[in-house]
Structure 1
Amino acid sequence: MTMLLQKRKWLEHSWFYYYLLLLPFFLWHYKAVGSQAGNIILRVNRVAKSLKNQHLTNNKFYNLQNCQNQQQKAKQLARLNNHHYSSYLHTTLQKECTSIYASGSTSSGIYPIWLKERFQFTYVYCDMDLVSTQKGWTTIQRRMNGEFNFERGWDDYVKGFGNPSSEHWLGLENIYRLSRQTAYSTNTLGPIHILTPEVGFDLQDWEEMKAFVQYANLLLGPKATNYWLDLGGLNKAFRRIFSSGPISGYSFSTPDRDNDNNDHSHCASKNRSGGWFNGCVEPNLNGPYPKHAQLMSSENIYWGGWLNFNKNGTALRFVFMKFYHGKIRP
């Protein structure tokens, strides 16, 4: 019995020494596995980094390619502008809604028109349904629901803002160019004459009283004149109701640019809009949009002559300014 116990103790000690002898191998194996795992992680990181660099390279290539494409387009446009294709573009592309209607597109909606003096397209709302003997009116201003704030600065009124499908201001520079779209010469060597469009004001108040006020002659100056405006040839039906030139003979003013003829007040700032002002109680078609229960006043969309048309003094709900280019050259 004693010998068996001694043998058992010896075996237990021998296993201990056996494991002790194997310990360096286990440590080496653990280090090798860890090193291999580390190598795998390192290789994965390298691959990831390579893929990332490749992605960046592709982005740079795409941007470079896109830039080159834009440069090529610009060069092509410049070549077109310098050669006979320029004349082709100016004579073929539709330059206002009147010609669009004449071409067979008789549905009101958003259309691209070609501004030849700016050599670019812009989008406008073409009114093909206006009850008038003339069809195809190019809308340059729309007030219909108060969606957009018209109390804006000079730069916004020059560039334009809003949405042609809703409330919209085409922009003074575009309006000026649009007023010069139709030109002719009596002979090849003669001077160039500009046929300016007719101007219409399509108005409706909250009681659904409607009127369309039309002027036969328009003269709009360039930016150097602060877009000085002159209107003439008021439709006979409205001569007794509206003034002969409600916004005529003035430069354009905005809350941050005082160009009115009033030495005592800044009318655009007071009226919270941009417009052609002489005094501060003038037609203010870009004024704050009125609510249903409001009456017309100088604090919202205003046209004094409307009070002669509707004695209730109801505020205007819809105000649209439009051009018609259907004049026939002499």
Structure 2
Amino acid sequence: MPVYFHRPSGLEFRLSRAQRDMQRSRSCGVLLCKEDALIQRDDNPRNITELILYQVVDTGLTNGHNGAPDRLRRLASLSPSNPNLLRVLDGMKFSGDLKNGQATLRVELSKQTNCLTEYICEVQEVDSKGKELITSSRLLQQPDQSSIKDDLYDQSFTSPLLMRLLSVVQGLDVKLATTENFLKDKLNSVEDRALDLRKELTDKLHSLENSLQSQLTTFEKSSDKMETKLSSVEAKLSSVETKLSSVETKLSSVETNLSSVETKLSSVEIKLSYVETKLTSIEDSWEDKAENLQKELTNKLNSLEISLQKEASINFKKVEDKLCHLEAKLASIDSDALQQKVLSTIKDQVDEHFIKVLNATEKADDTLNKTAGLVTALRYDNTNFQNDIMARYKNVFENVSRNMEEMFLQNTNLTSSMAKSLLHFKSDLDLSFDRIEVLINGSVANTLISLQCLKSGLNSSISAEVESVSEDFFVRQTGKENTPVPQQPATSAYPVLCRSNILGLKIPILCDTLTENGGWIVIQRRSRGDVDFYRNWASYKEGFGKFDTDFWLGLENIHAITRSGKYELRVDLKYNGQSKYAVYDNFSLAGEDENYKITVGSYTGTAGDGLSSHDGQQFSTYDRHNDKDTSKNCASLYTGAWWYFSMGCHHSNLNGKWQASSFKGPRWRGFTRSEPASFTEMKIRRLGD
């Protein structure tokens, strides 16, 4: 079995041809490409970065016409990122591995044409100094003469083929010479171009240094102004602190006065309670005295009436006795004159006695009247005393209440005045702080954007020059098929693209240059919750927020971008310490006349499909209801703004209220369920036409 191999500098490359047996073996040969980086060729150790196997494809220029170079077909490779290989391609079985500084690639060839094809084994290494080294081995095969003789059915290995192979070899020599001259000329041209480019880069760097120095000078001046303003603010703050101390002192005085008033009120209440007790005691005492006096008078009147009745009955009895006695005497006297005289005398005596009785009765009536008047006077005096005490008590209470109300009104007015003064002062202070913050943010933002624009412009020109030189020698490759290479190199993970007028916009845009080979335009981000996303239609149309925190690019801007070509959408999410994503291979927004209707394509990713059900829906905010269910406003119900649908409103709500649960926060159904995500980012990337 013949063996062909070539081994320069530790690289082993050989082909073992298999002998045909009676059953016609399925393999015509085994190709082996092997490199051992552990073999010390010098004092500089090396690491294998990639082992590649190429197949030289016949271009038809067998006699070296025009000196055209060979076309190479890359068959297989091993690298630290892909250390193992096992596959079958076009009748060739590949197997290999890369480990412990050794790379081995083995190919079983089943077709005779593959066994007669020319191959190149190339190994790429990096030494300890970071220098890249490329070693290649070329295997030019000759047909197996014994196999040709024994194999009557295979007529491919004939002498004309040998002649053709010799002709190809001669043509290859010519091509190699021509290619060598071409490469020398090209190298000289590249060296000249590199010198010119180096000079141009030096000039641009000097210009950049001058511009940066000017910008720094301007920034230092603005910093001095800001320091002056900050000093003024500190002085105002000191004045505010002084005023606040004065206000606190006044408040303490008011509290002291209120405490004193409360103490006085307590004392007045105690005195009023004492007066009420005294009045109650006096009233009870007077009632008892009046009742006793009334009883005593009643008893005396009853006793006087009884004695008068007794005295009257005794007197009347005496009168009757005397009259009887007189009648008896008159009966014994016969003389009429004498009777008349006696009767007259008796009549006078009786009248005198009746007058005395009447006088005594009148005296008794006068005594009774005086007693009744005395009782009435006592009652009247008691009532007047009570009324006087109550009037005085009422006057004292009214005076105390009036004084309390006046003091409370004064304290209320003072507190209200102080509160109004504090509110006005706080409003003025907030306005001053807002103005200062706007000035600071404007100055810093303008300076940073100017620096980024200047740096981006320089990087663009440098990138264009380098790309024009490298395009002649290197094949342009991207990590994903149909992904356009960015027009300028990224200066950071999220650079701000200042000249966004290339997309028809008049605003800066934020780019993601790292995720999946970059090229993304960020249209929404929520990471801190310091920006309120529960906004009206006008805010979502124009956009809001800041690139360094949370923001929304604006419906009109997103529409302007997506109508310029075909775009894909990527949504990155974080929840409970996990990160997942969703990608849609088509994304666009209609104009405002269609309420920015969304169109999304097929889904791939790890977060679950949370947007396909929203395809074809119009955008809604709490003040502009565009979902088809007229019975409710989904934006108001779920505290957000989104492309809501009628039944259930949403499967995703990335503009919902920050940290709100129960479907009202920035949720994604397949990942966070009804709970809010801790990070969301929506970005779009243009696809190849």
Structure (1 or 2) with the larger CA radius of gyration = 2
> Match for 2:573: what amino acid?
L
**C-alpha deviations, 1:140-160, integer Å up to 9, x for none?**
001011111001000000001
Report if the CA contact (8 A) 1:110-1:165 is conserved.
Answer: no
The equivalences for 1:235-246 within 5 A come to: 235=604, 237-238=605-606, 241-243=608-610, 245-246=612-613
Give the paired residue count.
205
- Say whether residues 1:180 and 2:540 are aligned partners: no
Name the structure 1 match of 2:657: 288
Change (3 A) 1:231 1:284: same
> Match for 2:497: what amino acid?
Y
SS in 1 for 2:593: helix
The equivalences for 1:168-317 within 5 A come to: 168-181=551-564, 195-205=565-575, 207-235=576-604, 237-238=605-606, 241-243=608-610, 245-278=612-645, 279-290=648-659, 296-307=661-672, 315-317=676-678
Structure 2 Cα separation of the partners of residues 109 and 226 of structure 1:
31
Report if the CA contact (8 A) 2:656-2:666 is conserved.
Answer: yes
> Match for 2:641: what amino acid?
G
Deviation of residue 208 (structure 1)? 1.8
Name the structure 1 match of 2:514: 129
Larger helix fraction of residues: 2
Report if the CA contact (8 A) 1:115-1:177 is conserved.
Answer: no
Deviation of residue 263 (structure 1)? 2.8
Deviation of residue 129 (structure 1)? 2.1
Deviation of residue 127 (structure 1)? 1.2
State the TM-score, normalizing by the size of structure 2. 0.28
Kindly report the root-mean-square deviation, in angstroms, between the aligned alpha carbons of the 2 structures.
2.5
Structure 2 Cα separation of the partners of residues 314 and 153 of structure 1:
24
Structure 1, gaps ≥5 residues long = 1-91, 93-97, 182-194
Report if the CA contact (8 A) 1:112-1:121 is conserved.
Answer: no
State the TM-score, normalizing by the size of structure 1. 0.57
Name the structure 1 match of 2:495: 109
Deviation of residue 220 (structure 1)? 1.6
The equivalences for 1:64-143 within 5 A come to: 101-107=486-492, 108-115=494-501, 118=504, 120-130=505-515, 132=516, 134-143=517-526
- Say whether residues 1:148 and 2:148 are aligned partners: no
> Match for 2:624: what amino acid?
R
Name the structure 2 match of 1:56: none
Deviation of residue 114 (structure 1)? 2.2
Between the aligned residues of both structures, percent identity stands at 29
SS in 1 for 2:612: coil
Report if the CA contact (8 A) 1:197-1:323 is conserved.
Answer: yes
Greater RCO, 1 or 2 (C-alpha within 8 Å, sep 6+): 1
Name the structure 1 match of 2:119: none
> Match for 1:200: what amino acid?
R
Change (3 A) 1:281 1:323: closer
Structure 2, gaps ≥5 residues long = 1-463, 465-482
Name the structure 2 match of 1:41: none
Deviation of residue 224 (structure 1)? 0.3
Deviation of residue 117 (structure 1)? 6.9
Structure 1 Cα separation of the partners of residues 669 and 502 of structure 2:
36
Report if the CA contact (8 A) 1:145-1:167 is conserved.
Answer: yes
- Say whether residues 1:328 and 2:683 are aligned partners: no
> Match for 1:142: what amino acid?
R
> Match for 1:328: what amino acid?
G
SS in 1 for 2:635: helix
Report if the CA contact (8 A) 1:115-1:178 is conserved.
Answer: no
**C-alpha deviations, 1:240-274, integer Å up to 9, x for none?**
x3256043220000000000122321001112221
Structure 1 Cα separation of the partners of residues 548 and 623 of structure 2:
28
